[in-house]
Structure 1
Amino acid sequence: MNGPGEATPFRLEAFYAGLLHGWGHLVDHRGGGERRMTAVLRGDWDGQVLTLDQTWTAEGSPPERRLWRIRPTTNGYSGTAADIVGTAEATWVDGGLRWSYQTDVPVGETVWRLACEEELQPQTANVATVQVKIGKFGLAIAEIHMIVSRAAPVAG
């Protein structure tokens, strides 16, 4: 699939190769309001597997990390990570990728299993928007909205 303004097909393994930065916000539908977020992503493509090391920080929370192993499939991509239940699947939708997965998140003394629907929409060869809808028991509990870019982080 082609992203807007791109002459060549969008390839996740090319987009995430190297160092990227993300900026955005987390909206907590449980009454927690809105918090700014930043992310640092490092990707390495070995010709078969994209290893994507994500570290993100929401304002007021410690950094979190996820190490993905992502492979191209006939219809998109599949990925695994330590906190992902089973395999995350991504399919092409409207020029971007829609990921579906479940993740286990520690909350106090328990672990919550959350359902995530993540949409990555390429804007240029170096910029994409990411929206993640997070739910539990079919109810929306949070959303993440980010811009991911190869550009150097802005100071301040």
Structure 2
Amino acid sequence: MLGMSLFGCSVSIDDYQNATPKLDLFQYFDGEVKAWGMLQDRSGKQTRRFEVAIKGTVQGDQLTLEEDFIFDDGEKQRRVWVITAMGNGHFIGEAGDVVGQASGKVVGNALNWQYVLRVPVGDSTYDIHFNDWMYLQDDKRMFNQAEMTKFGFKVGQVTLFFERVTPMATSPSF
């Protein structure tokens, strides 16, 4: 029976219905957020590390995230997301290196975000599917794990830790 519960189920965003603190995606990313992360290949070997400075701006039902990455080898990248709230916890997003639209849903303290990222490798590019899971820890910190697949096969994983720099409007001031 234990084997069935460990291997027979997959995670659903609805599993987090009662998890707290509740994630308000726009509130969390409105302002400045820093992130630290790593990429791992399919065997689990760490291949790169990076830091990200994120500036979020909310206007109505849209959140714009300006993400500036710096990798351990000195490479710099910039991604600008425009995320639109669709109601009932659903979101869509677009960025220059994202193929089509990203889609996601927030339930409880979790966000499941899926998209295809066009990744340059040498003289060519690869379209890699990302299945992101973000979990709000408290009003300042959030964890993120993303599985990367191509043709349904795992090719790697990204792990991130976010920390708000700008206090949230509802945070107590000391």
Q: Normalized against structure 2, the TM-score is what?
A: 0.76
Partners of 1:11 and 1:2 lie apart in 2 by 14
> Which amino acid in 2 is paired with 1:108?
G
Which runs of structure 2 are paired with 1:24-103 in the superposition (5 Å)?
A: 24-29=37-42, 33-74=46-87, 75-93=89-107, 95-103=109-117
Alpha-carbon distance change, 31 to 123 in structure 1, aligned in 2, over 3 angstroms: closer
Alpha-carbon distance change, 76 to 60 in structure 1, aligned in 2, over 3 angstroms: same
Match of 1:120 in 2: 134
**Quick check: 1:26–1:58 contact (8 Å CA) kept in 2?**
no
Q: Give the deviation of 1:118 after TM superposition.
A: 0.6
Q: Gaps (5+ residues) in structure 1? A: none
SS at match of 1:10: coil
SS at match of 1:73: strand
Q: Normalized per residue, which structure has more helix?
A: 2
Aligned residues: 149
Match of 2:8 in 1: none
Match of 2:9 in 1: none
The more displaced of 50-59 and 40-49 is 50-59
What do residues 84-137 of structure 1 show as CA deviations (whole Å, max 9, x unaligned)?
111100013563110111111111111111101011111111211111111112
Q: Considering only CA atoms, is the larger Rg found in Structure 1 or Structure 2?
A: 2
**Quick check: 1:76–1:97 contact (8 Å CA) kept in 2?**
no
**Quick check: 1:90–1:100 contact (8 Å CA) kept in 2?**
yes
Compute the RMSD of aligned alpha carbons. Answer: 2.2
SS at match of 1:60: coil
Q: Give the deviation of 1:36 after TM superposition.
A: 2.4
Partners of 1:86 and 1:43 lie apart in 2 by 22
> Which amino acid in 2 is paired with 1:126?
K
2:116 matched to 1:108? no
Match of 2:23 in 1: 10
SS at match of 2:79: strand
> Which amino acid in 2 is paired with 1:10?
L
Q: Gaps (5+ residues) in structure 2? A: 1-16, 167-174
